[in-house]
Amino acid sequence: MDSKLTKALQLKNEAVAVYRSDSLPEGALQFKPGVWGCVAAMLNAAAKGRTAAFCDETTVCVGGRAGLGLAPYPHGYIEKFLSDGEGIDREGERYKQSAELALEFMDNIPQIAKKKYVVFMPLSKMDEKQQTPEAVVFLVDPDRLSALVTLANFDVRTPDTVKLLFGAGCTQSVLYALAAFEKQSDECYLGMTDLSARKCIDKNHLSFSIPYNRYLAMEANTDSCFFRTETWQIISRRLE
């Protein structure tokens, strides 16, 4: 799938299309059943040109299952792990002050319709005649992120089209955008501020996730926005 937006951004990696499917793409990377792996690492692999897929059998990480919409968070352990670790066999991450606050977060993330697989595919490899993306995820540096945030607000009256919500890296980069797609919302999401997920991606990258309906509008606006200005030309000369 061609993209004027990725060309205007001069991306060195791939924008990643995300969709749910009942069929497994040929040659897709998967974690081995029963073996833990981080969804953020697979997102990074997709940004480097590989296709990846997840299902119940291959997604051991509880946060990953929740962040992909495969299953809700179970109670009893994760809320303690997200807080101080009291009552479990390992140190807590201390991302939440208490287990009660962690539970409130866990119970209020979006619940979305489920299919067998959640697929990450480089946008350039997508064929809309066969499969429509539901979200598009960019892993980008501050300059490109600034461009995406600006473009997301280009044709709207309100200043809050882009949101930064707390969550696991996969929740921030995948689940929130898929939920927005289901609602046909224009909301875009900045993510990968999850410290645990940051270990799996470039230190200069954050994620910017767009429901596909909004991506199409941003794509259509690419030629008429700031990409044609001297300001962007100055910034683009320092892009790496």
Beta bridge partners of 231: none
**pLDDT value of position 199:** 92
SS3 assignment, position 83:
coil
Q: How far apart are the first and last CA of the chain?
A: 23
**pLDDT value of position 219:** 98
**pLDDT value of position 58:** 96
Interacting residues of 9 by C-beta distance below 8 A, sequence separation 6+? 138, 140, 144, 147, 148
DSSP state of 20: E
**pLDDT value of position 146:** 98
**pLDDT value of position 142:** 97
Position 130 confidence tier, pLDDT thresholds 50, 70, 90: confident
**pLDDT value of position 86:** 93
Position 124 confidence tier, pLDDT thresholds 50, 70, 90: very high
Residues 190-235: tens digit of each pLDDT: 999 999 999 999 999 999 999 999 999 999 999 999 999 999 999 9
Beta bridge partners of 139: 207
**pLDDT value of position 128:** 82
SS3 assignment, position 24:
coil
Q: What are the residue ranges of helices labelled H in the chain?
A: 4-8, 39-47, 62-67, 78-82, 99-107, 142-152, 169-170, 176-183, 195-198, 212-221, 230-236
Write down the pTM of the prediction.
0.95
**pLDDT value of position 129:** 81
Residues 15-37: tens digit of each pLDDT: 999 999 999 999 999 999 999 99
Residues 60-111: tens digit of each pLDDT: 999 999 999 999 999 999 999 999 999 999 999 999 999 999 999 999 999 9
How far apart (Å, rounded) are the C-alpha atoms in residues 14 and 3?
Answer: 11
Sheet holding 16-21, edge to edge: 52-54, 117-122, 16-21, 135-140, 206-211, 188-191, 162-164
Residues 135-192: tens digit of each pLDDT: 999 999 999 999 999 999 999 999 999 999 999 999 999 999 999 999 999 999 999 9
